[in-house]
Amino acid sequence: MPILPRNRRSENAILVLEDGSVFTGYSFGAKTKISGEVVFSTSMVGYPEALTDPSYKGQILTLTYPLVGNYGVPSPVEKHSILEFFESDDIKVSGLILHELCLNPHHWSSTRTLDEWLASEGVPGIYGVDTRALTKKLRVEGVMLGVLQTANTFDEISVADLQTEACSIPDPNLRDLAGEVSVKEPITYDVKAPKTVVVVDCGVKNNIYCAVCSKGM
């Protein structure tokens, strides 16, 4: 499986946790700095669904599976006027942490790479991280706040400044996250069904809409 060799690049991304822990790696996606809760998922497949899952709003997601991106990003196919392979209309995570990144996906439905997708939506990513060590820390000590910065060169990043910043990150749970990811106006799906089903959106996934609409056909 083609991946980007690490020895052809210099480290240019860093993750700093609120306890001062530092994880360095290689950037992909957008070149920017973000903060949020650092969480993890042990799912082996389904990164397009995970990244668009409203429940991850404002979080920096760690995927524990060692190689991610190998089947690219699917096209925006709709079913019942709903995106079938994504759980919402855009990426909901603030950042992404991987062990290995595949930049040359091979899949019949792929239209672009994971790197290109994150870059197009302004989301930074870091790979080359020991995600096992990071996951163990989060599992033992609990979810932590963190800062993720990607840059063109590592010289542009100040580790000390990020460690200071990581100690004073606003708690994202104090925000109205449900309000940020829910619809602002009612949406009606034209499905021929004997009954009308009402879904109260507090961050509902597209899969739920698809399942409800399919039952009505």
Residue 217 pLDDT class (50, 70, 90 cuts): low
Per domain, the residue ranges of the chain are 6-175
CA–CA separation, 144 vs 15, rounded Å?
Answer: 12
Specify the pLDDT at position 57: 95
Beta bridge partners of 91: none
Residue 4 pLDDT class (50, 70, 90 cuts): very low
Q: Which of these CATH numbers, 3.40.309.10, 1.10.1060.10, 3.50.30.20, 3.40.50.1970, describes 6-175?
A: 3.50.30.20
Report which of 69, 68, 44, 66 is spatially closest to residue 130, judged by C-alpha positions: 66
pTM for this entry: 0.90
pLDDT digits (tens, 9 = 90+) for 78-136: 887 888 899 999 999 999 999 999 999 999 999 999 999 999 999 999 999 999 999 99
User: What number of other Cβ atoms are within 10 A of residue 198's Cβ?
Assistant: 6
Side chain identity, residue 142? G
CA–CA separation, 167 vs 169, rounded Å?
Answer: 6
Cβ 123 vs Cβ 91: under 8 Å: yes
